[in-house]
Amino acid sequence: MKRALISVSDKTGVVEFARELVSLGWELLSTSGTMKMLKEAGLPVTSVSDVTGFPEICDGRVKTLHPKIHGALLARRDIPDHMRQLEENGIGTIDIVCVNLYPFRETIAKPDVTMEDAIEHIDIGGPSMVRSAAKNWESVTIVVNPEDYATVISELKADGQTSRETRLQLSAKAYTHTAEYDMAISTWMRAQAGLPEKLFLEYDICQPLRYGENPHQEATFYKTANKVPYSLATAEQLNGKELSYNNIQDANAALNIVREFKDKPFAVGLKHMNPCGAGVGETIAEAWTKAYEGDKTSIFGGIVAFNREVDLKTAEMLKPIFLEIVMAPSFAPEALELLCSKKNLRVLKVDMEGEVKNQMACVSVNGGLLVQNQDLDTCALSLDQCVTKAKPTETQMKDLEFTWKMVKHVKSNAIVVGCGGMLLGVGAGQMNRVGSAEIALKQASATLTGPEQPSGLGDTQPQRSEDGLRRAGAAGRTQLVLASDAFFPFDDCVTLAAQYGVKAIVQPGGSIRDEDSIKKCDELGIAMLFTGERHFKH
CA atoms within 13 A on the CB side of 300: 3
Neighbouring C-beta atoms of residue 479, cutoff 10 Å:
19
Cα 247 from Cα 193, distance rounded (Å): 40
Cα 487 from Cα 506, distance rounded (Å): 9
Neighbouring C-beta atoms of residue 158, cutoff 10 Å:
10
3-state secondary structure (DSSP) of residue 19 = helix
Angle at 448 between CA 506 and CA 482, to 5 degrees: 5
- E-only strand ranges, 66-152: 96-99, 141-143
Task: Choose among 180, 199, 50, 200: nearest CA to 123.
Answer: 180
The single residue of 11, 135, 349, 398 carrying the catalytic annotation is: 135
Backbone angles phi, psi at 162, to 5 degrees: -80, 155
Torsion of the alpha carbons at 339, 342, 346 and 352, rounded to the nearest 10: 0
- E-only strand ranges, 295-453: 302-306, 323-328, 346-349, 360-365, 368-373, 415-419, 422-427
Residue 401 burial by Cβ neighbours in a 10 Å radius (0-12, 13-18, 19+): buried
Torsion of the alpha carbons at 17, 18, 23 and 24, rounded to the nearest 10: 80
Backbone angles phi, psi at 217, to 5 degrees: -105, 130
Neighbouring C-beta atoms of residue 347, cutoff 10 Å:
23
- Pairing mode, strands 46-47 and 27-30: parallel
- E-only strand ranges, 381-485: 415-419, 422-427, 480-484
Query: Do residues 121 and 98 lie in contact, with contact meaning Cβ atoms separated by under 8 Å?
Result: no
Annotated catalytic residue 262: no
Query: Do residues 248 and 356 lie in contact, with contact meaning Cβ atoms separated by under 8 Å?
Result: no
Cα 290 from Cα 473, distance rounded (Å): 8
Annotated catalytic residue 405: no
H-helix segments, 259-320:
284-294, 312-318
* DSSP tag of 356: P
Query: Do residues 67 and 112 lie in contact, with contact meaning Cβ atoms separated by under 8 Å?
Result: no
Cα 411 from Cα 427, distance rounded (Å): 9
Neighbouring C-beta atoms of residue 510, cutoff 10 Å:
14
The single residue of 2, 11, 223, 272 carrying the catalytic annotation is: 272
Sign of the dihedral through C-alpha 452, 457, 463, 467: positive
Would you please indicate which residues are annotated as catalytic (active-site) residues? Answer: 135, 272
